[in-house]
Chain A
């Protein structure tokens, strides 16, 4: 069964990497938004969302990513998703998130795209 949501963060230069694991539900989405906000307040505007360890999301959790994108748009920031499972990629695509965020097949490729 899909695990409980957890979030790890890592900073590489001026890029914030947030790595999710488990079910991105309402609580998970809120955690993503509040951790992002912490770093955004410190000036981080380039973000990689590594979703390799998440296989299940729901629309409530993902709607918090729209909040992240909105804040990044305000200061020319950039969000790149990495390691998306096909059904998560499809979910984000239906929601139109790729009009405002990019996707790459690995964190390294996402970092290269931001460099």
Chain B
């Protein structure tokens, strides 16, 4: 126990300041949600994550956003296991044929307004996997998407910035 406490004190706070968002890394789509709704989301956002066919590197970076260095909770972001509690659906990967139905069901199970953020180049347009009998391409082909976060995979800072931009909490630096 003493060792654990000692290690905690040695470690201190490792959380880093979030670098400024870059415009090229995010594409916002469609009409922004109503001002009132957005205002509420700005305080905290609950995210349901679905891997719709990714190569799993996107998941590694998404797991990293919860680590002490990026600590997404400080921005009020947290992940939920149930779509019923979720404000935002975060999707990675091209949508595989075998995940299409599960993705739609998760989306349906969410309360409106359903913000959808597609993360990674695959989720944008299928990436290296393209469009085929097994890969249906980007998430936008299956459900309406509000924002795309680019990168293969996007870095943890890009992910946090992208989510903050999607809920209108930060403006993009031009």
Do A and B bind?
Answer: no
Interface residues of A (CB under 8 A from B): none
